[in-house]
């Protein structure tokens, strides 16, 4: 029976091909627009580290100006001072902990044929790699001992290792980074969490770094830091004064395995701030925060306003397309009143008629869904071209989203088809037959 | 309009069909009015000028890695080389680029002290060639002299004693009269004094989304830093041919550093407003497709209702109705539906705008746009119904005598 109805639907769609085309195009455009923006939002709000996003916490302490709160008092500062993050590091109260900042430098390859290259760097602690599941091709992370001893060790990205060493195992070799000799201790595989949750302050969708070096080398002035620096109080001249000052430029992550550990860590943070108050720091009320990955992404509004606005618009767009479809289906099915009357007179039950016309709606929905899928591919390519770096790699349709597109189209058209079908089934046969 | 009552009664027999078109028109109106509003908002932001001679300027980064490097001497050599190059108007070292998104800011206040209000401003560290190189217009006071320029060590916290500010910053500091700012002493870093010696017509900050984007300050500093930017202005039309030449000359003169990231100001502007531009293009596409879809919806429904009424139309024609009267019937019918839709649409447009204002801090919509939406949709509705109505008017009176 199903294939018979499919055939009937096919005949009906072909007979009114103009009308069917308008419906299919409308649904296709609606689904295309909706899917394009839903995909961008979906990828922007994706969980970059699903299996442990609940165990990684970003630490915030309110060390700001007593006269003028940070972020108008909505949130505590988004980074920590050097003093606080090194103190927390030394306290070593979490299961794992990582202090980090963005850095940069110049690599001078030994091979004189190669030109020196500007690289982006991350200055971080040993635990960074295990906490964030960074995949290694060669070697491994440095040890906590290396952090403390301020050893000049470096982990290269696959890109840099390919560029300088042609992809060979370079572990154990040395490299000249900003005029200092660093020992290569590991090479990581391509690693690009999206969003780049571990450092939102320098761009949630930026590329991950070229090289990784111990954070402790910043204080030694062997690594040049970059990224955002925000000060509420002027500090004195020179590196030592800057490090001791009230400037926020470091980020601190901890890994805590249970709710209990989280509570304990919070207690510890509060106690730490109370202790610091004795030195005349932290004059603001206690306002410390531990946010897990998803909370942190939400707090930092990683999903851009533009993207959200666009999604709202495209959902309304889809609604218009569906209203259009309801209207057209209604017209089409009511136009078939004589035929329906005849079929009813010949003994077709309402249920039969209902399923027949629902199948016809679903066919149109399916065709519209396919068209919409094609259009969303184009839409995403368009978005990637239009937005450039900002949306790079965000515009891809995975299997989930493709299925979702088809299901969305089917569900929408079936819902849109219910009312017209119901009206069509309630046509009184006698009247239709009489008028013929 | 004798038949209006008749049309309404006929419409009432197919309420849902008419209501669906009306709703569709209402939603379309809601969306296009707000989309056009957002497009205009972005466009007006993109039209703001930076104050810089964008057509003839470019910049590059200079990253020093050599050991025992004399930064001060090297910078002087670079600037001398650049300023002497044929086709180059002038060149400076600068810490940040307008519109680029990355830069320095600081608070300036008219009274000293930790608890006094300060006004944020972008800081450009430059020498006495800045006004000429950037192509700025000095509207009051004077430029720095060569002796005003100081060397700034990395991490230095003290400031030089003279600065040049933009008119917008002068106005924020002295709201009563921006001209009175000239010669005044104000405070930076809460209590260090600086004197305003000149006022610029315009120079934008590096951040285009900042509400203080017009507030900038020139500070007479040359930076003794291993990473800096050089900014170059060329004679009109020579920029593109000079960019690779400058890169090559600088790179070959001195091998202890990397010259990189050459970028023209035009490209910087394009990148700076890339998202604005992209969003605008998408919104424009939405507006156009939506209008087309609504138009086609009207066409489809009209054709169907005409097909159903073929016999009645034939009868009317047989009873003496002219072609024009038949056309008019369907056009008035569409007008009635459109008016209902547009009325709902006005409410919708304003509500959506209120939501946008609340959620995304947009400005409230203006009445002209709503009127524009009303007119557009009325015209679209009438145009869409024109073809089906004409088809209806061509139905021959003889149809009335035939059975379908």
Per-residue model confidence as pLDDT tens digits over A313-325? 888 889 888 888 8
B275 in reach of chain A (CB within 8 A) = yes
Q: Among A41-55, A142-156, B129-143, which is the least confidently predicted range?
A: A41-55
CA distance A276 to A282: 7
Residue B177 in contact with partner chain A when CB distance is under 8 A: no
Q: Which of A5-9, A399-403, B159-163 has the highest mean pLDDT?
A: B159-163
Work out whether the CA dihedral A360, A365, A368, A373 comes out positive or negative.
negative
Each residue's pLDDT tens digit, B148-175 = 999 998 778 889 999 999 999 999 999 9
Question: What pLDDT band is residue A308 in, cutting at 50, 70 and 90?
Answer: confident
**Number of other CB atoms surrounding residue B74 within 10 Å:** 17
CB–CB of A254/A96 below 8 Å? yes
What are the tens digits of pLDDT across the range B297-354? Answer: 888 888 878 887 888 888 888 888 899 988 998 899 999 999 999 999 999 999 989 9
Using 50, 70 and 90 to split pLDDT, how confident is the model at A48?
confident
Tell me whether A102 touches chain B (CB under 8 Å). no
> B229-254, pLDDT tens digit by residue?
999 999 999 999 999 999 999 988 88
- A405 pLDDT above the threshold of 90: no
On the question of pLDDT at A436 being above 60, the answer is no
| Rounded CA separation B27/B38 (Å) | 17
Q: Is the distance from CB of B214 to CB of B166 less than 8 angstroms?
A: yes
User: In the numeric block, which tokens belong to residue B14?
Assistant: 């197919």
Whose CA is closest to A363, among A315, A397, A329? Answer: A329
For B364-389, what is each residue's pLDDT tens digit? 888 899 999 999 999 999 999 999 99
Task: Decide if A320 and B404 are in contact by the 8 Å CB cutoff.
Answer: no
Q: Which of A100, A329, A322 lies closest to A227, judged by CA?
A: A100
For chain A, positions 325-354, list CB contacts with chain B under 8 A: 326-328, 330-332, 334-335
User: What confidence tens digit (pLDDT) does each residue in A198-245 have?
Assistant: 998 877 778 889 999 999 999 998 998 888 888 888 777 788 888 988
Structure token pair of residue A294: 């998803």
Closest partner residue to A331 (CB to CB) among B17, B115, B275 is B17
> Which residue of A37, A176, A317, A336 is the best one to mutate when testing the B interface, meaning the one whose CB has the most B CBs within 10 A?
A317
Between A213 and A430, name the one with better pLDDT.
A213
Average pLDDT on A27-33 reads: 90
By CA distance, what is B402's nearest residue in A? A436
Pairwise CB contact (< 8 Å): A179 & B403: no
Average pLDDT over residues A150-168: 93
A390: contact with B, CB 8 A cutoff: yes
> Which position has the token pair 């605008």?
B280
Length of chain B (residues): 404
Considering only residues 251 to 270 of chain B, which have any Cβ-Cβ distance to chain A shorter than 8 Å? 258, 260
Q: Which among B189, B260, B403 has CB closest to A234? A: B189
Chain B interface disruption, residue of A67, A309, A311, A375, most B CBs within 10 A: A309
How many Cα atoms occupy the beta-carbon half-sphere of A92 within 13 Å? Answer: 6
Q: Do A26 and B296 touch (CB under 8 A)?
A: yes
The pLDDT > 90 percentage for chain A reads 39
Residue range B211-219: average pLDDT?
92
Q: Using a CB–CB cutoff of 8 Å, tell me whether A18 touches chain B.
A: yes
pLDDT band at A337 (very low <50, low <70, confident <90, very high): confident
pLDDT recorded at residue B1: 56
Say if CB A271 and CB A256 are below 8 A apart: no
> Which residues of chain A from 63 to 82 reach within 8 Å of chain B, CB to CB?
67
Least confident stretch, A6-15, A388-397, B296-305: A388-397
Which among B227, B301, B360 is the nearest to A309, CB-wise?
B360
Q: For chain B, report the end-to-end CA distance as a whole number of angstroms.
A: 31
End-to-end CA separation in angstroms for chain A = 29
pLDDT at A394: 66
**pLDDT tens readout for residues B84-126:** 999 999 999 999 999 988 788 888 999 888 778 888 899 999 9
- Give the chain A residue nearest B297 (alpha carbons): A324
CA distances from B125 to A227, B120, B155, B160, B356 (A): 19, 16, 14, 10, 39
pLDDT computed for residue B403 by the predictor: 58
DSSP-assigned beta bridge partners for residue A117: A107
How many CB atoms sit inside 10 A of residue A274's CB?
Answer: 11
Q: Return the SS3 of B393.
A: helix
Query: Helical H runs in A81-126?
Result: 82-91
- Structure confidence at residue B77 as a pLDDT band (50, 70, 90): very high
Task: Identify from B278, B286, B302 which residue to disrupt to test chain A contact, counting A C-beta atoms within 10 A and taking the largest count.
Answer: B278
3-state secondary structure of B109: strand
Q: Do A19 and B300 touch (CB under 8 A)?
A: yes
> Are A309 and B158 a contacting pair at CB < 8 A?
no
Largest CA-CA distance found in chain A, in angstroms, rounded: 99
Q: Give the chain A residue nearest B227 (alpha carbons).
A: A105
What pLDDT digit, counting tens, does each position of B6-44 carry?
888 888 877 887 888 899 999 999 999 999 998 998 898
Partners of A254 in beta bridges: A57, A97
What is the reported pLDDT for A148?
93
- Contact B68/A at CB under 8 A: no
What residue of B is the nearest CA neighbor of A116? B258
* CB-side neighbour CA atoms (13 Å) of B388: 26
Check if the beta carbon of residue A161 is closer than 8 Å to that of residue A170: yes
B120 to chain A, any CB pair closer than 8 A? The answer is: no
State residue B308's pLDDT score: 78
Q: Which residue is listed with tokens 């057209």?
A: A328
Angular region, A99: left φ>0, alpha ψ -120 to 50, beta rest: beta
Of B249, B294, B150, B97, the C-alpha closest to A322 is: B294
Please report residues of A whose CB lies closer than 8 A to that of B275: 306, 387, 390
| Residue entry with tokens 């030089």 | B160
- Which segments of A44-115 are extended strands (E)? 56-60, 80-81, 96-108
Give yes or no for A210 touching B (CB within 8 A). no
Kindly indicate the confidence band of residue A349, based on its pLDDT and cuts at 50, 70 and 90: confident
Q: Which residue of A has its CA nearest to B309?
A: A335
Reported ipTM? 0.78
Residue B392 makes CB contacts below 8 A (sequence gap 6+) with B306, B309, B313, B326, B327, B329, B330
Pairing mode of beta strands A211-214, A180-188: unpaired
Residue A244 forms contact with B (CB below 8 Å) = no
Which residue from A241, A306, A320 is facing B27, i.e. has the nearest CB?
A320
Q: pLDDT tens digits for B251-276?
A: 888 888 888 889 999 999 988 888 88
User: pLDDT higher for A352 or A371?
Assistant: A371
Would you call A388 and B23 a contact, using CB atoms and an 8 Å cutoff? no
Over residues A413-431, mean pLDDT: 83
Band (pLDDT 50/70/90 cuts) for residue A160 is very high
Q: Determine whether the interchain pair A436/B403 forms a contact, defined as Cβ–Cβ distance below 8 Å.
A: yes
Q: Which residues contact A212 (CB under 8 A, 6 or more apart)?
A: A121, A122, A123, A124, A128, A129, A154, A155, A188
Tell me how far the alpha carbon of residue A250 is from its chain's centroid.
23
Rg (CA), chain B: 33
Q: What residues of chain A, 302 to 321, have a C-beta less than 8 Å from chain B?
A: 305-306, 308-310, 313-314, 316-317, 319-321
Contact B227 A26 (CB under 8 A): no
Quick check: A302 pLDDT over 80? no
pLDDT reported for residue B158: 87
Min CA distance, B131 vs chain A (Å)? 28
Query: Is the minimum CB–CB distance between B28 and chain A shorter than 8 Å?
Result: yes
Q: Residue B198 CB: number of other CB atoms within 10 A?
A: 20
* Pairwise CA distance, residues A155 & A133, whole Å: 14
The SS3 of residue B3 is coil
Check if the beta carbon of residue A376 is closer than 8 Å to that of residue A405: yes
How far is residue A338's CA from residue A361's CA, in Å, rounded to a whole number? 19
Q: Quote the pLDDT of residue B366.
A: 86
**pLDDT for res B7:** 84
* Better-scored residue on pLDDT, B89 or A329: B89
């Amino acid at each position: 029976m199903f294939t018979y109805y499919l055939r009937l639907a096919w005949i009906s769609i072909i007979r009114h091909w103009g009308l069917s085309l308008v419906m299919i195009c409308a649904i296709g455009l609606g689904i295309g627009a909706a899917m394009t923006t839903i995909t961008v939002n979906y990828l922007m709000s994706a969980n970059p580290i699903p299996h442990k996003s609940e165990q990684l916490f970003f630490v915030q302490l309110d060390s700001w100006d007593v006269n003028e709160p940070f972020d108008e008092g909505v949130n505590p500062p988004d980074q920590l001072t050097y003093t606080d993050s090194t103190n927390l590091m030394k306290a070593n109260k979490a299961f794992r902990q990582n202090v980090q900042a963005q850095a940069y430098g110049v690599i001078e390859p030994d091979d004189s044929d190669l030109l020196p290259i500007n690289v982006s760097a991350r200055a971080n602690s040993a635990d960074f790699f295990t906490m964030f599941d960074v995949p290694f091709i060669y070697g491994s992370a440095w040890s906590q001992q290396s952090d403390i001893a301020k050893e000049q060790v470096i982990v290269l990205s696959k890109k840099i290792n390919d560029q300088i060493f042609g992809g060979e195992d370079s572990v154990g070799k040395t490299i000249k980074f900003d005029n200092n000799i660093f020992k290569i201790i590991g090479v990581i595989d391509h690693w690009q969490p999206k969003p780049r949750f571990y450092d939102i302050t320098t761009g949630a969708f930026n590329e991950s770094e070229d090289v990784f070096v111990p954070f402790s080398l910043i204080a030694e002035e062997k690594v040049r830091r970059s990224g955002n620096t925000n000060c509420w109080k002027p500090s004195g001249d020179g590196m030592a004064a800057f490090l001791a000052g009230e400037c926020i430029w470091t980020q601190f992550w901890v890994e805590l395995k249970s709710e209990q550990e989280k509570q304990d860590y919070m207690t510890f943070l509060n106690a730490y701030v109370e202790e610091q108050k004795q030195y005349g720091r932290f004059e603001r009320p206690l306002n410390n925060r531990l946010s897990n990955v998803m909370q942190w992404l939400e707090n930092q509004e990683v999903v851009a306003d533009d993207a959200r606005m666009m999604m709202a618009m495209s959902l309304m767009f889809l609604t218009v397309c569906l209203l259009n479809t309801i209207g057209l289906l209604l017209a089409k099915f009511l136009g078939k009143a004589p035929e329906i009357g005849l079929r009813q007179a010949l003994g077709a039950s309402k249920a039969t008629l209902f399923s027949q016309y629902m199948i016809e709606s679903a066919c149109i929905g399916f065709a519209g869904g396919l068209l919409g899928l094609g259009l969303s591919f184009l839409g995403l390519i368009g978005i990637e071209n239009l937005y450039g770096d900002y949306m790079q790699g965000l515009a891809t349709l995975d299997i989930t989203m493709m299925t979702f597109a088809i299901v969305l189209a089917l569900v929408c058209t079936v819902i849109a088809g219910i009312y017209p079908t119901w009206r069509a089934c309630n046509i009184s046969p006698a009247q239709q037959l009489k008028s013929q | 309009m004798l038949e209006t009552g008749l049309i309404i009664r006929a419409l009432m027999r197919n309420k849902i069909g008419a209501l669906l078109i009306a709703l569709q028109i209402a939603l379309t109106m809601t969306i296009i009015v707000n989309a056009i509003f957002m497009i205009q908002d972005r466009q007006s932001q993109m039209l703001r000028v930076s104050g810089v001679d964008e057509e003839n300027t470019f910049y590059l980064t200079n990253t020093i890695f050599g050991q025992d490097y004399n930064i001060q001497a090297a910078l002087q050599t670079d600037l001398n080389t650049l300023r002497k190059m044929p086709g180059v108007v002038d060149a400076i070292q600068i810490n940040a680029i307008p519109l680029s998104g990355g830069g320095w800011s600081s608070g300036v206040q008219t009274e000293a002290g930790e608890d006094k209000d300060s006004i944020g401003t972008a800081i450009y560290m430059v020498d006495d060639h800045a006004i000429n190189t950037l192509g700025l217009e000095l509207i009051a006071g004077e430029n720095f002299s060569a002796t005003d320029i100081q060397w700034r060590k990395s991490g230095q916290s003290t400031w030089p004693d003279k600065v040049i500010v933009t008119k917008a910053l002068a106005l924020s500091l002295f709201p009563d009269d921006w001209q009175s700012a000239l010669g005044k002493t104000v405070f930076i870093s809460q209590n260090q004094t600086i004197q305003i010696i000149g006022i610029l017509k315009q120079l934008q900050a590096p951040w285009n989304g900042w509400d203080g984007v017009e507030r900038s300050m020139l500070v007479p500093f040359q930076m003794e830093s291993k990473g800096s930017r050089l900014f170059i202005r060329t004679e009109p039309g020579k920029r593109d041919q000079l960019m690779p030449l400058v890169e090559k000359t600088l790179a070959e003169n001195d091998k202890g550093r990397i010259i990189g990231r050459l970028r023209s100001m035009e490209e910087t502007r394009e990148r700076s407003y890339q998202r604005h531009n992209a969003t605008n293009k998408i919104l424009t596409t939405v507006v156009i497709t939506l209008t087309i879809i609504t138009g086609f919806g009207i066409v489809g429904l009209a054709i169907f209702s005409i097909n159903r009424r073929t016999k009645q139309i034939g009868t009317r024609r047989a009873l003496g109705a002219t072609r024009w009267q038949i056309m008019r019937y369907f056009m008035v019918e569409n007008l009635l539906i459109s008016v209902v839709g547009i009325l709902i649409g006005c409410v919708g447009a304003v509500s959506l705008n209120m939501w946008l204002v609340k959620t995304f801090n947009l400005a409230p919509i203006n009445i002209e746009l709503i009127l524009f939406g009303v007119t557009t949709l009325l015209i679209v509705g009438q145009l869409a119904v024109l073809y089906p109505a004409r088809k209806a008017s061509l139905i021959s009176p003889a149809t009335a005598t035939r059975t379908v």
